[in-house]
Amino acid sequence: MDKKLVLPGEFISDDVERAGEGTFVDDGKVFSSVFGVASLKNQIKVVPLSGKYIPKSGDLILGIIKEITFSNWIVDIRSPYDGLLHISEYPRRIENTEMSRYLNVGDAIMTLVVDVDVNMKVELTLNDQRLRPVKDGRIVDVTPSKVPRFIGRSGSMIAMLKNETHCNIFIGQNGRIWITGKDRDMDLAVKAIKKIEKETHVSGLTDRITKFLKEIKGENVIEKEPDKEEKLRTEEKTEEEKTEMEKSGGILDELLGDEK
Amino acid sequence: MSKPEKLIENGIRLDGRRPDELRPIKIKVGVLNRADGSCYFEFGRNKVIAAVYGPREVHPRHQQKSTSAVVRYRYNMASFSVEERKRPGPDRRSIEVSKVSREALEPVIFQEYFPRSAIDIFVEVLQADAGTRTAGINAASIALADAGIPMKSLVSSCAVGKVDDTLVLDLFKDEDNYGQCDMPIAMTPDGNITLIQMDGHLTRDEFTEGLEMAKKGCLAIHELQKAALIEKYNSQLEGEVNDK
């Protein structure tokens, strides 16, 4: 087994060269610094079972506007540190007095961390091709350290989730997940996400979740005639949804840099 | 209860323990949903609950340190935790216990990982029976691990003392009240002492012997702390399997 549950201060290895995140080196030995799951592939690192999001430059995250100051939006990014979004980082020119018309307190934004300095001042931007306005859908919170598991190896988990639930899903590095789609599909997606969060470290998770989703969906089909359902779907598709769907395709593939 | 004639009879203490025996311990991890980490800890008839929040923003602002996190520890006894109602709120004793307990945990926490933030630890004593600060430290150290806070190791804590001229481990109420010495100790499993206090008198030899006893006690507690954390992880998984 290359995976192991470890506690703070537990000895992991003698190989100091490969010590990575979640570990510390003392007297030529590698110890775990957190309560989490250690993996010994390539690099020795420990993924904590819980913990706060610590911003890094280059992270794509979901933030919620918390406060408006003279020329900055202060953004809650689920971290001990606030995000700062300067007025000049908004895609177009805005007057100071009009800031709340574009982004008001409580609005959600998909944003990019541009810089984090030594004082943990977190600068955000909206000037990026990959960003989309968060206008509809739902946001689900998960443990930030588990984010890689939601994406899966080269995006397998997220691709499967999107496929099975017909939702568009964006996973912020800060553990906020944004889902857009039809209400019933979103319910399904939320269920799957909760399950993934609980079973993060079980092996073969992607397959288990696929099975889980298929089971639930199987029940749904029995409730309704498949034919009718199909009809309903096309009828329900409003103008807005259509545009949303068109948009949705590319986002994540771009984010993850994987091919279709 | 007035002073009993003898605190130790035929090498057995009033509560039926041998001198080097700990009181029974019960640990439950993750008992509070809103806290980032939490732990319920029973140490004989002591019952304490610890909650950890953070790292989070520091309020009031002037307390923050620009290069590391501040650790704040609040030890509080519930008014119903002792026979005679305790006046609620911080008093001289609980302020002191908070300070020494904080200093018992600070050396193991990687504070420099989280500049300008605060790690808040709250320990509430629900029922007291001597040794609440040691129970509090044990609970807090588990709660810190549960909150995912990076640490060099866990901290375990227990007391040694002297009653009827005999060294005993982990004193309970009567021994504490009528004994000759009480010495709470906190240490990491590799033997670095982070807290040591002494109330009463010990000879030099008794002190070294007592320290050895405490070390053994702390190691035993450390094993239980580890087991409790691992059990939390396993029970989460099992719960999920049963759900299906």
CA A125 to chain CA mean position, Å: 17
pLDDT on residue A217: 79
CB-nearest partner of A8 from B115, B154, B233: B154
CB-nearest partner of B110 from A33, A35, A120: A33
One domain for residues A84 and A105: yes
pLDDT on residue B77: 97
One domain for residues A241 and A150: yes
One domain for residues A32 and A108: no
Residue from B118, B71, B125, B139 nearest B94 by CA = B125
Assess if residue A67 is contained within a domain: yes
Helices H / strands E in chain B, number of each:
4, 12
Backbone angles phi, psi at A236, to 5 degrees: -65, -25
pLDDT tens figures, B13-71: 999 999 999 999 999 999 999 999 999 999 999 999 999 998 999 999 999 999 999 99
Chain B CB contacts of A120 under 8 Å are: 115-117
- Give the residue from A125, A149, A165 where a domain finishes: A125
- Which has the higher per-residue pLDDT, A226 or B10? B10
pLDDT on residue A26: 93
How close is the nearest chain B Cα to the Cα of A147, in Å?
Answer: 15
One domain for residues A152 and A232: yes
**Cα separation, B182 vs A255, whole angstroms:** 61
Burial A64-83 (b: 16+ CB within 10 A, else e): bbeebeeebbebbbbbbbbb
**Cα separation, B158 vs B137, whole angstroms:** 9
One domain for residues A13 and A116: no
Number of domains composing chain A? 3
One domain for residues A35 and A108: no
Range of the domain at A41: 3-48
Assess if residue A43 is contained within a domain: yes
Interface of B with A (CB under 8 A): 36-37, 54-57, 66, 108, 110, 113-118, 145-154, 188-190, 226, 229-230, 233, 236-237, 239-240
Assess if residue A132 is contained within a domain: no
CATH number at residue A24: 2.40.50.100
> Domain B13-243 carries which CATH code?
3.30.230.70
**Cα separation, A23 vs B84, whole angstroms:** 47
Query: If DSSP states are collapsed to H, E and C, what string results for B195-227?
Result: EECCEECCCHHHHHHHHHHHHHHHHHHHHHHHH
Band of pLDDT at residue B105, cut at 50, 70 and 90: very high
Assess if residue A131 is contained within a domain: no
- Tell me, yes or no, if A35 comes closer than 8 A to chain B by beta carbon: yes
Domain ranges of chain B: 13-243
**Which residue is closest to B230 within chain A, CA to CA?**
A5
**Cα separation, B136 vs B141, whole angstroms:** 9
One domain for residues A21 and A100: no
Within 13 Å and on the Cβ side, how many CA atoms surround A163? Answer: 11
Write the CB contacts of A17 (distance below 8 Å, at least 6 apart in sequence).
none
How close is the nearest chain A Cα to the Cα of B35, in Å?
Answer: 11
One domain for residues A156 and A247: yes
A33, B148: Cβ pair inside 8 Å?
no
Chain A CB contacts of B151 under 8 Å are: 8-9, 33-34
Residue from A132, A142, A135 nearest A173 by CA = A142
Q: Which residues are bridge partners to B56 per DSSP?
A: B118
CB atoms within 10 A of CB B243: 8
CATH number at residue A167: 3.30.1370.10
Question: A interface mutation test: which of B29, B149, B222 has the most A CBs within 10 A?
Answer: B149
A80, B108: Cβ pair inside 8 Å?
no
What size, in residues, is chain A? 260
CA B183 to chain CA mean position, Å: 13
Q: Which residue has the tokens 């609970």?
A: B139
One domain for residues A143 and A213: yes
One domain for residues A150 and A240: yes
Can you read off the two tokens belonging to residue B90? 């911080």
CATH number at residue A109: 2.40.50.140
pLDDT on residue A230: 44
Assess if residue A237 is contained within a domain: yes
Q: What is the arithmetic mean of pLDDT over B209-218?
A: 96
**Cα separation, B78 vs B81, whole angstroms:** 5
CB pairs under 8 A between A and B: 90
How close is the nearest chain B Cα to the Cα of A50, in Å?
Answer: 5
Assess if residue A184 is contained within a domain: yes
One domain for residues A142 and A252: yes
Assess if residue A155 is contained within a domain: yes
Please report, for residues A88, A90, A201, A235, B88, the alpha-carbon distance to residue A49 in angstroms, rounded to integers and kept in the order given.
38, 35, 9, 44, 36
One domain for residues A249 and A149: yes
Low-confidence winner among A163-167, A252-256, B115-119, B170-174 (lowest mean pLDDT) = A252-256
Assess if residue A8 is contained within a domain: yes
**Cα separation, B145 vs B166, whole angstroms:** 36
CB atoms within 10 A of CB A127: 13
Q: What ipTM does this complex have? A: 0.90
Provide the residue-wise pLDDT of chain A in tens; the chain has 260 residues. Answer: 578 899 999 999 999 999 999 999 999 999 999 999 998 888 899 999 999 999 999 999 999 999 999 999 999 999 999 999 999 999 989 999 999 999 999 999 999 999 999 889 999 999 999 998 898 999 999 999 999 889 888 888 999 999 889 999 999 999 999 999 999 999 999 999 998 888 887 778 888 888 888 888 776 654 444 444 444 444 444 444 434 333 333 344 444 443 33
